[in-house]
Amino acid sequence: MISIYKYDRPGFDRAKTWSDRYRTMYASEKTFGDYEQQSFWPELKRLLQKDGAYLDVGCGIGGWVLFLNEFGYKTDGIDSNSGAIRAMSEYDPDLSLKIASTSAIPYKNEQFDGVLSIGSLEYSEGEVETSLREMYRVTKSGGFVCIEVPLANTLRRIFYIPLKKLEGMLKPGSQTPTFVYYLFGQDEFVQLVENAGFSVEVVLPHDLPDAKSHFGLYSNWLFLRGAKPYELNILGRLIKVICNGISPWIASTGIALIAKKG
């Protein structure tokens, strides 16, 4: 795991900023088609059963919870950010949501047929292994997990990560960095999931399906940004095409995997 830190401006409260943002963010801003286009959706859909019970760990504003429930898959959600849970509870009071940490999931052993964690585990500083063990605990025997995390891809290893380290060296000693998230190597993350007790069955590169957009290139490189969120400019689109033409793992934002509990 590679820790990514940021140097916030004086007085900036990252937790409060996200809580305030959650008050105005709603999962309905995405269409259901956005979820169906995710790289792992065909594999995930194959495992879902209408009589099953599912949990989204680190559900944020509840997009996957809302999407799965809409299509008849009973799905609960937990998130440590109270603002996110309040916002989603106000949006749809019928959803089953709890304020809880990924490292202390408030459900009994083997309660769920499947557990999701999409873009959330990377924020669990010092608790990734514990969180994976908790997912294993609440998953039924024969059940599955579907997890997506940011990838320490080739571009990030060659350019982005060294530049972040250089930034830290050049900052005054009085400035304290704030942990933001982890980046994971492909083999490393598979091993972490297997160490928790799961058997990994599917591993996929993960990114936005839209040819004009890209999570990683947009987030990591300001000069590649287009006019809209996560939209790339002409140079960014060219880089995406070239990298994906060689291998999707070169610039892929994330790694998605599905693993079974024996």
Question: What would the DSSP string read from start to end of 60-113?
Answer: TTTHHHHHHHHTT-EEEEEES-HHHHHHHHHH-TTS-EEE--TTS--S-TT-EE
Q: Is residue 229 part of a domain?
A: no
In which domain, by residue range, is 153 found?
12-209+253-260
Contact of 116 with 149, CB cutoff 8 Å: no
Instruction: Write the pLDDT tens digit of every residue in 218-242.
Output: 989 999 999 998 999 999 999 999 9
Tell me whether residue 55 is in a domain: yes
The CATH number of whichever domain residue 97 belongs to comes to 3.40.50.150
pLDDT tens digits for range 152-193: 999 999 999 999 999 888 887 778 888 999 999 999 999 999
16 domain-assigned? yes
Q: pTM score, two decimals?
A: 0.91
Q: Is a pLDDT exceeding 60 seen at residue 24?
A: no
Overall number of domains in the chain: 1
Residue 135, in any domain of the structure = yes
Q: Tell whether 5 is covered by a domain.
A: no
Over residues 29-58, mean pLDDT: 90
Determine how β-strand 199-206 pairs with β-strand 97-99: unpaired
In a domain, residue 172? The reply is yes
